[in-house]
């Protein structure tokens, strides 16, 4: 099983979420909790049944353009 730090490094480098227990790409996203600066995402591995959670942090934002109000 990958440690939290190893899992995070692989997820960021590859840009995909893999199961930390069996390295499968067949993971399903579950509930998501959004906080002020963090997002908690639950995952379930469809291959081995391992359940895990990832925490993502807000590191910045993109200003909204004035034209977005008129795009409908």
pLDDT for residue 68: 58
Q: How far is CA 62 from CA 7, 29, 55, 70, in A?
A: 27, 25, 21, 18
Over residues 22-71, the pLDDT tens digits come to 999 999 999 999 988 899 999 999 999 999 999 888 888 788 877 655 55
Structure tokens at 52: 């895990």
pLDDT for residue 58: 82
**pLDDT classification of 21: cutoffs 50, 70, 90:** very high
Residue boundaries of the structural domains of the chain: 4-59
pLDDT for residue 18: 92
Task: Name the fold adopted by 4-59.
Answer: N-terminal domain of TfIIb (2.20.25)
Instruction: Tell me the pTM.
Output: 0.70
Half-sphere CA count of 30, side-chain side, radius 13 A: 12
């Amino acid at each position: 099983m990958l440690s939290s730090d190893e899992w995070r490094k692989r997820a960021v480098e590859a840009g995909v979420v893999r199961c930390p227990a069996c390295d499968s790409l067949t993971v399903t996203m579950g509930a998501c909790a959004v906080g002020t600066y963090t997002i908690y995402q639950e995952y379930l591995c469809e291959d081995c049944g391992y359940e895990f959670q990832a925490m993502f942090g807000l590191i910045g934002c993109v200003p909204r353009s004035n034209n977005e109000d008129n795009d409908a």
